[in-house]
Structure 1
């Protein structure tokens, strides 16, 4: 069994959040005989690996549900500034560590630059974030995109879409710095995109291990992204792990934590 199955859940790393972490390592034994039988997926599946992920899901399910409840609360109770902070976080994440990007967003909020700073001022706070000059300009552009009559209006704009897939399309087409992965990540993190795939390298690697896809592609066109998303949705239904759980499950399997 892979050694990176850990017991760990991480909340939002700010002063007002409650955070639970357990460094204790957990090893899950594979089910002795394969209980999984593929039916609907056309690509060759890996029953042993699927049994392992089903066991890991049983172990992580409550922690994943708790994290998803945190995300849903952001949409239910958060202000437009909270929603925009999550958007800015997802703009920073490409080719950068989430654990580096979120503290940068917190710094920008504390000093007021996230909502009022210039691209140059924002760039100065993006320490250890790759492509910080470009991403700082993307944050300012997104802020302008979501400002109506001098006020951030993230909620009213996103609330106008009939479903998260339509919202994602609009984000990809209108917000600089957002591809399908980042747009889906943002919507999931504010409780609106639980059925969307967030295809980063960790997820793609594990989908290949499970046999959902033949291999993890080096790059993704729109067509390829949506094709893999369909396969992931079909796999999710077949094995009985909700899409929202599957993303966090595979991410935690690879990184050892449930974060954002």
Structure 2
């Protein structure tokens, strides 16, 4: 919590609303009872500038029966959803390319990442959210969607759970230009690739986004591009 985040008479996100109108952010986890080996002691709100960073102290009963006091920082950006858009007849997939500063500052050559369409749930259920994100980012409305799996992407520090989907697309489902929302700072390129080419790009490192790799591998193993058993 920086000095500019504090206001007279309270702490944003704790006892007075932060910039997103939230309070009680220091209470998360205090009521957890699902694991008798864990007793949450204290939750400290470190930042709620947009997403939420917390430091939590808890007692943990180790495998030998002894108790230790542990401390973890968790980053809470909400949960998300992603979808692989595919055309089984033409054997293509529809991806997006956009600049991602975190990967740029951590070794990616230019930060321009090829990805499946994705976004945060906000206040929507996962299927509603991914329909919204697909339309905003790619310009395609999607019909029936298939739920594939739900994954914790970085469980050591990030709370986010991502809901994975797949859905067919075609020229008849084009509803707009896509490209994301300029008001949110998005500048997204829509990229159509042959499915086999996309798989090759995983091997060459041209596709380096985890959710995209997972959905492409699923599509090859048991999804729309899976080869019949024994062939």
Greater gyration radius: 2
Q: TM-score normalized by structure 1? A: 0.22
| Higher helix proportion (structure 1 or 2) | 1
| Higher strand proportion (structure 1 or 2) | 2
